[in-house]
Structure 1
C-alpha cells in the first residue's frame, strides 16, 4: 500500500507500507479523495502547532468502506463516507458535556496521528458519516465546511445582523456561506481583490472590503456607523487576529476560527469599552457534519467552483509546492485516488 509521508518540513516521500487491519469497533476504508487544508500546508512548512514529524497528513477525506462490523449507524461495505478526524477520549469534561471537538486529549488524524494520504486506513466506525447522494469530491470537502459551520454556530448569528468574515481562504469562505445560510448580512474582508470577487459570487458576500485600503472607515459606513455585531477571523494570522477587535460593535462578539502558532495581544481598554465577547472555535461536531451534508445535498453550496485544482495521488508531491504560492490561485486542491 502506498502512503505519502511528510518526513520533515518541506519534504514528502512516497513509501510502501503494510495494509492496515481493522480492530474491533473500526472500519477499513479505501481513500478516494483528499482535500488539502491550510493545516496540511502549515505542517509541510513547519508552522503547525501540536505537530511532530514524520507524519502522514490528510484529514479532509472521502472514502469507501471496505470492511466494517455491526455499528450503530447501519454503515456497510461499499458505502461512501466522510471521516470525522477528531478522535476524542470520551471521558474528559469536554467529552462528558458533548463538546468532543475540544477534548482535553484530542488527537486529530493527519496532525497528532497519521492521516489519510494513503490508499487505505482504519477509522473508528463511529467517526464515519454516510454521504449517500454526494460525489467523492463533495464528500472530501465536508470537513472543511464543517469548520465554518461550527464557527457560525459558536457565533450564534441572528437573522439580519452584520457578520464580518476576515480571510477569504477555504475556511473563511465556508464561514461566509454558513453565515449567509443563517441569515446574516456578510461582509468579506481580505487583501486579495480576486478572492473578494470570488466571495461576492460564491458565498455570496453582501459586501467586500480590501484590508489594504481603509477597512475601518468602509466597514463603519456599510453598517451605518454601528460596526458588525459579530466578527469571525479565519486568517490564522496574529496581526489580523489582534486588529480584529477594532471592527467589533459595542456589545458584539469576536470569534477566532483560525489558529496561529504564537501569542496574540490586544488593547484592554478597546476590549472593555465594548463589553465584547471573545470566543474560540475549534474543529467541529457530528451535528456540524450532518448540517453540511444536508446543505450540500439540498443544493445550497456550489462545490464545483470551490475545487480549483486537482491531481492524482502519484503526482501530488510534485504539485504540492505550487499550492503554497498565492499566484497559483488555489482555493481548494483535491488529490484523487
Structure 2
C-alpha cells in the first residue's frame, strides 16, 4: 500500500512526522494530493492548546489546494489531474441548519484540519461535493486562500446590507484585509482599518485602505474621519481591547461582528451593547455557496491576494513556520506550507 508522511500533533507544542498509509479510494469519492496549505491564525491557537473549540490529537491544515490523484467509481464530473480546493466544513446534511446551508450551526459539524484529518495527511479522501475545481490560471496560493476568503464573505454577510455603510475593521491580518476587500466590492461607503504592526499597515495602504494605529486616540480619529460613528465594526483580532473598541465606536443600533478567535475569555462592556442596542453577532464559517462565491471572486480576480502571500515553508519545516509566526520580530501576513509541489503523484 502506498505510504504518506503525516504531520501529527499529539498535544500542545508537539508535531511529529510519521508514516501512514495513503487513503484508499472508495466509490463516490476522490483522493486529493495536497500541495499547498495556508496557515490560519486558528491553527496557531490550536497548536498552543489555546483554541477553545479544538482538542488533540490533530492533523492540521484546512486552507488547501492540490490535485485529484484517484477517482472512485460513480464519480463522473472530476478526473485525475484536476486542480482543486476543498471546503473543510462538513455538516450532517440532514438537520434543519444544514438544510438551510448553515453548516457552521450544525450540531454534528466536522472540520477537516480539526476533528477530521487535514492537509497534514498529504492525501485526503473526500466527497466531490466538497471540492471546487480551478483552472491552471489560478495559483496554488490563491486556491489555498479560498477558505479564508469564504470566511470573509460570510462575515460580511452577517450584516443585512453593507452597501453605503461606514465600516471599521479591528485588525489588518488576512481576515481583516479580506473583509475590507469584500466590503469595498459590495459598495461600502467608507472603510477604516486599525492595525498596530507596520508591515500589515503598509500592505493595507497598498490595497487602498485608510489605516489608524490603535491607541487612545483611535475612537476620536475614526469619528473625525468619518464625520460620525461607523455603522458596522468587524473584530478580527480576538482580543478584549479591540472588541470593546468596536462596541464603543459603532453607532446606536449598529452591528459588531466578531470574527476573531479568543484564547482567553474577554471582559465585554455589555452595558454599551444593551444601551446602544447593538447587534452583536458571531461569525465562524460559511455555507458552501459562500465558499463557491469565494472561488468565483478569485477566478475573476476581483480580490487582491498576492500582497497578502508573504512566506513559504517546506512540509518538514512546519514547526519552524509556527515559530516564525510566533516571533514578534517577523513581518508576515499569510504563511504557506508547501508539499512536494513537483511530485504530484500522477502521470
Question: Among 97, 101, 119, which residue is 2:100 paired with?
Answer: 97
Which residue number in structure 2 is paired with residue 13 of structure 1? 16
| Alpha-carbon separation, structure 2, partners of 1:194 and 1:145 | 21
Cα RMSD over matched residues? 1.9
Which residue number in structure 1 is paired with residue 275 of structure 2? 273
Q: What is the TM-score normalised by the length of structure 1?
A: 0.93
Which residue number in structure 2 is paired with residue 136 of structure 1? 140
Shift of 1:170: 1.0
Which residue number in structure 1 is paired with residue 286 of structure 2? 284
Superposed, which structure 2 residues align to 1:42-61 within 5 Å? 42-61=45-64
| Compared CA separation, residues 187 and 97, structure 1 to 2 (3 A) | same
Superposed, which structure 2 residues align to 1:1-337 within 5 Å? 1-69=4-72, 74-132=77-135, 133-184=137-188, 185-202=190-207, 204-205=208-209, 207-224=210-227, 226-337=228-339
Q: Is the 8 A contact 1:50 1:111 kept in 2?
A: no
In the TM superposition, structure 1's runs of 4+ consecutive aligned residues that sit over 6 Å from their partners are 70-73
Q: Is 310-319 or 157-166 further displaced after alignment?
A: 310-319
Q: Is the 8 A contact 1:146 1:292 kept in 2?
A: yes
Q: Partner of 1:7: helix, strand, or coil?
A: coil
Q: Where does the alignment leave 5 or more consecutive residues of structure 1 unmatched?
A: none
| Alpha-carbon separation, structure 1, partners of 2:126 and 2:337 | 20
Q: How many residues align?
A: 334
| Alpha-carbon separation, structure 2, partners of 1:58 and 1:134 | 20
Q: What is the TM-score normalised by the length of structure 2?
A: 0.90
Q: Is 305-314 or 30-39 further displaced after alignment?
A: 305-314
| Alpha-carbon separation, structure 2, partners of 1:80 and 1:289 | 16
